[in-house]
Amino acid sequence: MSVPAPAATAGLVDAFGRVHTDLRVSVTDHCNLRCSYCMPLDARFRPAAELLSFAEIERVVRVAAEAGIRTLRLTGGEPLLRPGLPDLVGRLVGIAGIEEVALSTNGLLLAEQAAALAAAGLARLNVSLDALDPQVFAAVARRPGLERVLEGLAAARRAGFRDIRINAVSIRGLTEGEIVPLARHCRAAGLQLRFIEFMPLDGESAWSGAQVLGGADVRAILAREFGALEPLPAADPGQPAVDYRYPDGGTVGFIDPVSAPFCGRCDRLRLTADGQFRNCLFSTTEWDARAVLRAAHPPADEAALLAALLRDCVAAKRAAHGIGTPSFARPERAMYQIGG
């Protein structure tokens, strides 16, 4: 392969003018839950040798930062299952250009790791929690664990994390009864709650539009309890969530990728745990960074090749995911294999 000339660093701009500054880095596809919307019950995980090492992730992120990436989110699978994750956080926060490293976790291992993650420089935490009733939690996650998540949240606060976000996927026929309890709990505990619509990325390909409990439905349930919610202007133009204010103060966020796609302001790219760049959750193409990393290139050539791959990935980004349109194609990989 010939080594392309280094690009002028004009940022990672796609054909529609979207500037990409956020990279989601999946560190594993393994998980200690089996959420129905994310992976099959009999999920098979990749052997460790197929996952990028921390040194490989660091090399990719250095190139991505040089190209314009400013924020990172570590995800998975369950990222806290990856041994030594605080070590990776420490390596990434030190990279020139990276302004913030965040983490999405199911929280089961947070009690053990929150202090080390904070010490390593992790800036923000998103914890997924769909239900406060242990039976509903286990029906969604197909494993128990609610108590450990709540312990993990308490530990995260003791470790100094502020503005912790709770992400709750809403599924019709399953989680309606959890919406008000989650809202009450998060308001009382000072947690930033966000409801997310169920996307067609489940491991069993069983998604149907009928299962999507839309953001509007969730807002109607909340309004019956708390009064009408008022939408707020976006604090950050790239943010997928729209925040709403409760009549008596405090906010709740909605990520509505199915009913109100935000593709037009998407600023995200993804690196899967096995080293593939993706330009969208719904990408049907991947760009193989691991092949570059594992070929014997001199460091400068490797960096140039990775930068070219990233630019190709960005250039090929489609205008929108197209869920609900005739041309929509479900990606082969489920959410846990991509990195949410």
Closest distance of CB 291 from ligand SAM, Å: 24
Which CB atom, from 212 or from 306, has the smaller least distance to ligand SAM? 212
Q: Do the strands 12-13 and 19-20 form a parallel or antiparallel pair, or are they unpaired?
A: antiparallel
End-to-end CA distance of the chain: 32
167 binds, among ligand SF4, ligand SAM, none (CB under 5 to 8 A by kind): ligand SAM
Which CB atom, from 37 or from 277, has the smaller least distance to ligand SAM? 37
CA angle 89, 93, 94 (to 5 degrees): 120
Closest distance of CB 31 from ligand SF4, Å: 3
Q: How many CB atoms lie within 10 A of CB 139?
A: 15
39 binds, among ligand SAM, ligand SF4, none (CB under 5 to 8 A by kind): ligand SF4
201 binds, among ligand SF4, ligand SAM, none (CB under 5 to 8 A by kind): ligand SAM
Is residue 104 part of the contact set for ligand SAM (CB under 6 A)?
A: yes
Sheet arrangement for strand 100-105:
230-231, 242-245, 251-255, 192-197, 165-170, 124-128, 100-105, 71-75, 22-26, 268-271, 276-278, 287-288
Q: How many CB atoms lie within 10 A of CB 268?
A: 20
Tokens of 53: 């090492």
Contact pattern for ligand SAM over residues 17 through 56, marking x by CB under 6 A: --------------x-----xx------------------
Q: How far apart are CA 214 and CA 135, in angstroms?
A: 23
Is residue 178 part of the contact set for ligand SAM (CB under 6 A)?
A: no
CB-CB contact of 334 with 39 (8 Å): yes
Closest distance of CB 94 from ligand SAM, Å: 23
Contact pattern for ligand SAM over residues 239 through 278, marking x by CB under 6 A: ----------------------------------------
Among 68, 268, 335, 337, contact with ligand SAM (rule: CB under 6 A): 335
Enumerate residues 6+ apart whose C-beta is below 8 A from 40: 34, 203, 204, 334
Which CB atom, from 128 or from 170, has the smaller least distance to ligand SF4? 128
Closest distance of CB 259 from ligand SAM, Å: 13
Q: How far apart are CA 204 and CA 188, in angstroms?
A: 36
Closest distance of CB 9 from ligand SF4, Å: 34
Cα–chain center distance at 266: 13
Q: Do the strands 251-255 and 242-245 form a parallel or antiparallel pair, or are they unpaired?
A: antiparallel
DSSP secondary structure string for all residues of 240-302:
S-EEEE-TTS-EEEEE-TTTS--GGG--EEEE-TTSEEESSTT-S--EEHHHHHHS---HHHH
Q: How far apart are CA 310 and CA 317, in angstroms?
A: 11
- The residues of the shown chain that bind ligand SF4, judged by CB under 6 A, are 31, 33-35, 38-39, 76-78, 106, 128, 335-336
202 binds, among ligand SF4, ligand SAM, none (CB under 5 to 8 A by kind): ligand SAM
Neighbour-count burial of 218, counting CB atoms closer than 10 A to its CB (0-12 exposed, 13-18 middle, 19+ buried): buried
Closest distance of CB 205 from ligand SAM, Å: 11
Which CB atom, from 174 or from 309, has the smaller least distance to ligand SAM? 174
Is residue 72 part of the contact set for ligand SAM (CB under 6 A)?
A: no
Which CB atom, from 202 or from 274, has the smaller least distance to ligand SAM? 202
Instruction: Report the interface residues with ligand SAM, using CB under 6 A.
Output: 31, 37-38, 75-76, 78, 104-106, 128, 167, 169, 196, 198-199, 201-202, 335-336, 340
